[in-house]
Structure formats: C-alpha cells, structure tokens
A and B are shown apart, each in its own frame.
Chain A
Amino acid sequence: MKASRIFNHTIKQGFQGIYRNRTMSLASVGSVTAVLVILGLIIMIILNVSAISVSTKEKFDEIYVYLDDSITNQRIREIGEEIGSYEGTLAVVFQSKDYALEKMKEEWGEDGRLLEGLVNNPLPNTYVVQLRDVSYASALIKHIEQKDGIEEVKYYKDIVEKLISTAEFIQVFGVIVIIILLLVSIFIIQNTIKITVASRKVEIELMQYIGASNGFVRGPFIFEGVVLGCMGAFLAIIVVLNGYDYLVSYSNEKLFSMLSVYLIPANMISLDILIIFVTIGVGIGILGSIVSLRKFLSV
C-alpha cells in the first residue's frame, strides 16, 4: 500500500473521527486542558518559589548593624573601621538614614508618596556587613553587639534558612503532585479515548474483518489522540500564560512593596511552558490511544 495513501487515510479519518465524535473529543480536550492547567499552576508556583528563595538568600545573607542616632560621625567611622578589621568581614557598606529613606521610597513606587509626610526620618544609619562565610556570623554579631553606639544588630539567617527549607519542601511536594497528576491524566485520557474507541467498536471490528492492517486501524486513532492532546495543550497554554500574565501585572507591584520580591515575567517562561505542555499533551494522547486500542485489536 502506498505510504501517501496511508498518510492521507490517517489524517482524514483522524479528523473525521474527532468531528463525528464531537462530544467525546470535547471531553478529551477538556480533561487534557484541566490537567495541564493544574500542572501549569504547580510549575509556576515551583519556579517562583525557587526564584524568590534565591533572590531572598542573596538579599538577606548580610548582617545589618543599626546605629544609634545620638552618636557622632567620628564614632560612626570608628565602628565602621572596627567591623572592617574583623577577620570574618568581607565588606562593609555604610548606608545613611537619608539614603535608606530614598531607597524605601523608590521600592514602594507609587506608595512612596506616603513617606513624604514624615517630619523626622525614623530610619537609622546602617552598616551592611558582608561575611566571608556564614560561619563567622554568630561570632561577629557577639563582637559588634558589645560596642557603644549600636542600636541593634539584625541577621536574617533563621528567616533565610526557613525560607529555603520551605522552598525545598514546596519543590519536592510539587514534583510529587506533578507525577501523581500525570498518572491521573493518563488514566483520564485513556478512559476518555476508551469511550471514543468503544463508541467506534463496530468500525474497528469491521476494519479488522475487512483485512485492514493493524497499523492502518491504529493510525487514525493515535493521530486523533495526538490532535486532541495538542488541542488540550494549546488551550491550557492560553489559559495558563494569560492567567499568569494577568496575575503578574496585577500583583507584582503590591507583592514587591510587601515582600520585596517579583514574580517571574510570563514571557520568560512561555517557551518552556509551550514545550512542556505540547510534549505532555501529545504524550498522553498517544499513550491513551494505545492503551485503549489494545483492548479492541484482539479480533
């Protein structure tokens, strides 16, 4: 039999099958879409949690030494030199209280106007200390805290560690949920296609009685699975990316002013989502078709 004829037959019968069993096709596309949308949600959560935990780690892996407002500039310089001479210190950066306020205004964006009403700047002068290694942290804190003119020493190690362990938990949990979801989705697709195949049991049996080769019988159904999987994937891509884009544009400003973090922009992950979704959609389409067909190819 000519390859082109088999190809044409597969394409034609596949599309015809989708159109003539519209309701079941719709159900299949719907379940692929639903599964992928949930999958997309989890992927987005994992990606963002990872990104946030990385940026937070960078941001908070420093010691903040808040200085008393009453001390002299001389004393401020002395403290800076003392901290700088400590062996665990990699770098010391001075942030004046005015600079801190400006920076805060900048970070708050539109809400920064609220800070303009302040009569006195409540923020302290600060030394930001970068450590050679986190192991020096507690010794250095102890060392600094005893000095005069220090209001408070802040180190976010606990928070960072908690955040990282939470992020790791979310990642592991997310991967487990994804695996379960994939299995569930294959099961759903398999069942939906099984119904499609069952509703065409007569046709399949007939094809086999007539003497159509197994490939000829399977081809259109597998193609149908691929098309349904792709359609579901594209729908899910539209839903997930648009939804995410909306979420990012709606919440990013607020999120940043509250937590100083940004969500990953949608256009940065759209290609990955496209590849992942189409692969999974096509995969479960093919797998579902094969599993469902196996039952009916015994005649």
Chain B
Amino acid sequence: MFEFHNVTKIYKNKFTAVKDINLKIEKGSFSFVVGKSGAGKTTLIKLLIKEVNPTEGTIFFNGEDITYLSSRRIPLHRRKVGVVFQDFRLLNKKTVYENIAFAMEMVGQSPKSIRREVPNVLSMVGLSDKATNFPNELAGGEQQRIAIARAVVNRPDLIIADEPTGNLDPETSNEIMKIFSEINRRGTTLLMVTHDRTIVDMMKKRVIELKNGRIIRDTEEGDYYEGF
C-alpha cells in the first residue's frame, strides 16, 4: 500500500518531528499508530497526505514515488486517501446528505453518481433517516459516522483516521469501530492514530508505537501498551 524509506522530517524551527522512519503498510491491512503527544503521529499523517514534504527519505504509495509531488498532482494523490478527523470537520451549513455529496462534487463526480452513491454510504453507516438533518442536530457518534461516510464515498485506497473516537464515549466508540472494521473487511486499507487504549486492545490489530519521532515498537495483533 505505502512504504516509508528512512523518512525524516525536520520543520523550519529545527524541530525533528520524525526520524529515520521505515514502515511498510500492506494493502487491505488495519493498523494502529500509538504514542504520546509530540511523538510524530500527526507528522506521519501529514507526510502521507502531502501536507508536508519529508526532509530526507522516500515515500511510495501504490508503488508510485510520492516523496515530492507538484501542486497539480497533490489533489490527485489525495483522492486516493480518505481522512477522518477527531473533530469531524463537518460543514454545519450543509445537511448530512450535502456534506457527503460535497466530497463527491469536489472531485467532479457526476450528479447521477452522487444520487446513487450518497444513499449507499449513508445506509452503510446507518444514517439513512438523517439525510436531511444538519450536523449540529445530531449526536457526536452520528456526526463521526457522517465524517466516515464522507471519507469513503470516493472509494479511496487508504483511510486515515486521526483520533476518530477521541471525542466519543466508549459505547459510541465501539459502534464507530464496527463501521471501520466493515470498511476494512470490504478491502480498504486503514491506518488509525489513537490514544484509545480500549479499542486498540479490543481490536487485536497491528500496533506501531512512536516515541520522539522514531518507531519503537511494531507488533502484529498488539496491545496499546507493550507486554500487556
């Protein structure tokens, strides 16, 4: 799916966010990235969606070198990656339906395919009856489900979830994780950054732990803390 070869990112203020990262994520896999604040998790995401360029090293995505992309090619790359944020980032002035349709419009999908796909993803996240509601009329879990629907509607190869359960209670978090599992089961690669020990321990997936910008642990079917 994607590979990092000796990737280092040093910001302009000389802060080294990630150092010498070597990482290979297989197509169709489900992995967690854990670590304290400032460990380099966010930079990892930014490198993947080309918000920042690495200072050193190379990044491959679907076999293509994406280390440096022209500003014209960045949007095309981003269409292959869906992002789910902790704060949902929904447009409160648009209805649930419009929020999802928005993602399709932005990449130039036809009105016909929008009419076909939006109800599909809404039914997948179980929100078919909320299509005409506005996001702030819905509970946190429901809002996150809209955000997930929006991320998958353009059928990306990879979904990156940045603390998707950070603002949700445990029960709602479990529901969200079920949706992610379903998406992954259908073949989409998932990379989830999280602080949520419960879900990491429950899911028994690959765990990559970062500390001070380096990978200090990479275990299949791992737990949140090493050795538990």
Tell me the A residues contacting B by CB distance below 8 Å: 1-2, 5-6, 9, 20, 202-203, 205-214, 216, 299
B106 to chain A, nearest CB (A): 4
Contact A211 B89 (CB under 8 A): no
Contact A211 B77 (CB under 8 A): yes
With contacts A5-B108, A9-B105, A207-B106 known, is A213 near B91, CB below 8 A?
no
Contact A210 B103 (CB under 8 A): yes
Q: Which residue of A lies closest to B107 (CB)?
A: A211
**Can you identify 19 A-B contacts, CB atoms within 8 angstroms?**
A1-B107, A6-B108, A202-B91, A205-B89, A206-B89, A208-B75, A210-B78, A210-B79, A210-B154, A211-B75, A211-B76, A211-B77, A211-B80, A211-B106, A211-B107, A211-B154, A213-B72, A214-B72, A299-B51
Given A6-B108, A212-B106, 20 other A-B contacts at CB below 8 A? Answer: A1-B107, A5-B110, A9-B105, A202-B91, A203-B91, A206-B91, A207-B106, A209-B49, A209-B78, A210-B79, A211-B76, A211-B78, A211-B79, A211-B106, A211-B107, A212-B107, A213-B75, A214-B71, A214-B72, A216-B106
- Is B93 close to A, CB under 8 A? yes
- Is B121 close to A, CB under 8 A? no
Complex interface residues of chain B between 12 and 46 (CB less than 8 A to chain A):
none
B110 to chain A, nearest CB (A): 8
Give chain B residues whose Cβ lies under 8 Å from the Cβ of A203. Answer: 91
- Is B83 close to A, CB under 8 A? yes
A103 to chain B, nearest CB (A): 70
**Distance in angstroms between the alpha carbons of A208 and B46 in the assembled complex:** 13
Contact B108 A214 (CB under 8 A): no
With contacts A210-B78, A211-B77 known, is A2 near B108, CB below 8 A?
yes
Complex interface residues of chain B between 48 and 83 (CB less than 8 A to chain A):
49, 51, 71-72, 75-80, 83
Q: Which residue of B lies closest to A16 (CB)?
A: B93
Chain A contact residues: over half helix, strand or loop, or mixed?
Answer: helix
Q: Which residue of A lies closest to B87 (CB)?
A: A202
B: interface residue count bin: 20 to 34
Give chain B residues whose Cβ lies under 8 Å from the Cβ of A5. Answer: 108, 110
**Distance in angstroms between the alpha carbons of A140 and B68 in the assembled complex:** 85
**Distance in angstroms between the alpha carbons of A210 and B77 in the assembled complex:** 10
A215 to chain B, nearest CB (A): 10
Q: Which residue of B lies closest to A2 (CB)?
A: B108
A253 to chain B, nearest CB (A): 55
Contact B91 A214 (CB under 8 A): no
**Distance in angstroms between the alpha carbons of A31 and B75 in the assembled complex:** 35
Residue among B80, B106, B154 with most chain A CB within 10 A: B106
Give chain B residues whose Cβ lies under 8 Å from the Cβ of A207. Answer: 106
**Distance in angstroms between the alpha carbons of A213 and B77 in the assembled complex:** 11
Contact A202 B89 (CB under 8 A): yes
Give chain A residues whose Cβ lies under 8 Å from the Cβ of B154. Answer: 210-211
**Distance in angstroms between the alpha carbons of A212 and B103 in the assembled complex:** 9
Give chain A residues whose Cβ lies under 8 Å from the Cβ of B77. Answer: 211
Contact B108 A209 (CB under 8 A): no
Q: Which residue of B lies closest to A17 (CB)?
A: B93
B88 to chain A, nearest CB (A): 10
Q: Which of B71, B72, B93, B107 sits near A210, CB closer than 8 Å?
A: B107
Q: Which residue of A lies closest to B92 (CB)?
A: A202
Q: Which of B76, B93, B102 sits near A20, CB closer than 8 Å?
A: B93
Give chain A residues whose Cβ lies under 8 Å from the Cβ of B83. Answer: 209
A134 to chain B, nearest CB (A): 65
Give chain B residues whose Cβ lies under 8 Å from the Cβ of A6. Answer: 108
Q: Which residue of B lies closest to A5 (CB)?
A: B108
Give chain A residues whose Cβ lies under 8 Å from the Cβ of B107. Answer: 1, 210-212
Residue among A20, A209, A213 with most chain B CB within 10 A: A209
B198 to chain A, nearest CB (A): 28
Q: CB-CB contacts of B92-133 with A at 8 A, as 1s and 0s?
A: 010000000011011110100000000000000000000000
Give chain B residues whose Cβ lies under 8 Å from the Cβ of A299. Answer: 51
Q: Which residue of B lies closest to A205 (CB)?
A: B89
**Distance in angstroms between the alpha carbons of A205 and B83 in the assembled complex:** 12
**Distance in angstroms between the alpha carbons of A190 and B83 in the assembled complex:** 31
Q: Which 10 A-B pairs have the closest CB atoms?
A: A1-B108, A211-B78, A211-B79, A212-B106, A211-B75, A210-B106, A213-B75, A210-B103, A207-B106, A209-B83
B155 to chain A, nearest CB (A): 12
Give chain B residues whose Cβ lies under 8 Å from the Cβ of A20. Answer: 93
Q: Which residue of A lies closest to B110 (CB)?
A: A5
Q: Which residue of B lies closest to A206 (CB)?
A: B89
